[in-house]
Homo-oligomer: A and B are copies of this chain.
């Protein structure tokens, strides 16, 4: 068999890696207060039994399987149950609850690992000839329901795992353009680029377990997007296997060639073909890559400061601020020995906060990044510091930023930790103009609280602002509650209330996680019914027999 590694079938990340709270003294009290879960008495569910899963037999015929093995080789086609289960869902809360609860309505019938682009092209042709369904698979980290086969799908379903296409093929050093295979995971490609002094600069929270192709297919955005752009800005050239051959968008910096086919592929979630290669803009690893922390007395003051930075001449690489709830969470998840909870709860900062008459329940923690040459980073910090000061904030150096940078990819493990102990946690994010962000934040909070009240549970919600643009930014919400008798029913009520609040308060249904099955109900509100109709026309005309990840994004 191939040696493509996957996340564990019942949760996030690698076997043996998990979240630990014993060294974080503030965590248990925080969780008790936030969702009413007592970690000292809670018992953790063990790893669920794979043998207990009900997995339908593969529908792939021997003849079709042979066709595929003729293309990729026998080792690269499998109907193994574990492989099929691993490729059934992404990693949303809904996905984890279902897989742990043996709720598997449809698995892929085959998992296929193409060796190269030519294999992909031939598989695409074979799948269409067979009228099979093809679902491209990258790192499997999707949380919008973009990966699962439709429950009622009668045709053979292939999960096309791009894991073997993980190479940086070429770097055009003059142009800062790298040709990279779509199956490359974040760490793989950064390592290959880094060896030659380059960086992609794209660091989404899923970085360790998501791929370039997946980022393009869902319009991903990374931590440093203020500097490097979203993946929609970064991905200049695309190669996509289509039934009529390779669709090739060359890496032109900008062009005027009708409606942008590049931007049709971006966000297409597998519905327009299989992305095999992306030419991305890369940057020389900068001399400075610093993250500084700041505190603001209130969320309102911090948000106004972020807006002022976006309007200014300053060009930081990260502008991020947590609201008071998330600031409390950050302090609670810090390790005692080296964490900045001690920094805050020790003697120095509280004294300063007291002198400033700041309310500890209202303070907000912000991270701002500076990248580039020494002088440039210094200059940007100087510009930002002045704006922070004007808005009543104070800088506290790089130590918290370093910690943040180190643990930024670990949050999903915490979600699994809570799930093991009966608490559901998930995230959803939106983007809106600056003028609407404060209202969006409050509207979502109110909607979540109303939903919690409806299901009779004391739930939690917190948020941060990140990904600044000239005209607005992203608000990223994390919510959690102790599950009752109907976890998915309760989850639906809370998640739907949050999504509807996005629309009601001028936000988008997603900033960088995609639509999948999860966010379809809000598409009409988001881009208008005529907008969805235009998109549907595109999908129908490009895939008349619905062979490519059918049902995702629009539902049809």
Contact = CB atoms under 8 A, between A and B. Distances in A.
A253 B471 contact: yes
Contacts of A174: 307, 433-435
Contact of A372 (B272, B313, B434, B469): B313
Given A261-B527, A515-B257, A526-B257, A534 B230 contact: no
Contacts of A523: 257-258
B531 A249 contact: yes
Interface stretch (A184-192, A345-353, A501-509): A501-509
B469 A253 contact: yes
A537 interface: yes
Contacts of A541: 534, 536-538, 540-541
B257 A527 contact: yes
A53 B510 CA distance: 56
Contact of A433 (B175, B218, B536): B175
Nearest to A543: B537
Contacts of A373: 313
B435 A172 contact: yes
A509 B254 contact: no
A176 interface: yes
A528 B246 contact: yes
A261 B531 contact: yes
Nearest to A218: B256
A442 interface: no
Interface residues of A, number: 97
A221 to B, nearest CB: 7
Interface stretch (A12-20, A35-43, A262-270): A262-270
Contact of A264 (B255, B259, B536): B259
A313 B376 contact: yes
Nearest to A520: B258
Nearest to A371: B313
Interface string A446-483: 00000000000000000000010111111000000000
A465 to B, nearest CB: 12
A484 to B, nearest CB: 31
Interface string A205-218: 00000000000001
Contacts of A175: 433-436, 471-472
Interface of A: 172-177, 218-221, 230, 232, 236, 240, 242, 244-269, 272, 281, 283-284, 307, 311, 313, 315, 372-373, 375-376, 379, 431-436, 467, 469-474, 506-515, 519, 523, 526-531, 533-542, 553-554
Given A254-B467, A537-B540, 5 more contacts: A242-B530, A250-B527, A252-B431, A254-B431, A257-B527
11 contacts: A175-B436, A176-B470, A177-B433, A242-B534, A249-B531, A253-B433, A256-B514, A257-B508, A258-B514, A281-B471, A313-B376
